Structure 1
Amino acid sequence: MTEQNPDWTVKEIGELAPDGDVEIPEAALESFNIPFCPNCGEGSILKTDVVFFGDNVRRSIVDECYDKVDDCTGLLVLGSSLTVMSSMRYVKHASTRKVPIVIVNIGPTAGDQLATLKISAKCSEIISLL
């Protein structure tokens, strides 16, 4: 993507919000070159291995995350508003198990009422102290 869009910079698209969202101007969208998968050819758009809003997390990944929460002694949430069930489900699960939950986020989150400790700060500031 970088090779095909070398001028697609913060100056072109704007600053990211703390949750990673950004309002991309129409001109930036018009100038974006869509990369195609080098293995599948020209007809297949290259997509990153992330879950976008509206997509579903694979069941195997959901189950693996539940297993990790079952095995943990504490849950640390960094920089998430927890507004989507994809992440909030693990906070709820940890709470049910009486696992301590620490949330670091600027502003409120959907999981604040379940948190053992809520730190309202930038993640980079907190991580640098650990």
Structure 2
Amino acid sequence: MQRVTACLLLLLLTIPVGLAVRYAPLHLPWFWSKYLGSAFWAVALYWFVAMLLPRLRPVALACIAGIAATLVELSRLVPEPHVDAFRLTLAGKLLLGRYFSIKNIVVYLLAIALTAAADSAWCFGASNRQAN
């Protein structure tokens, strides 16, 4: 239960930070606001998967989140009227995005890998401290 709560809290922290990076007037260069927003989307996806599957190790969570992120990005290449209509809404734009970009896949996978590494260090660090 602690793991689920921790993942939920991290998810709830990640979402507003990602939205702020993308939409708040932080005066970040376009590159940073675009790709940091994408990175935070992937981090949020990781914590969502980790919350749903708390017993999996970070490597497995990263694989699932990476596949999901890649599939969401690739789905932009397949026209589907109902999904495309949803993509025009704010929720659709935030959850699914509008335009395909191979760069986004790279950013997603990098962000997920870094998050899994931090999760692994946090989880195993905590278990090692308890064992001592």
Structure with greater strand percent: 1
Structure-2-length-normalised TM-score:
0.22
Structure with greater helix percent: 2
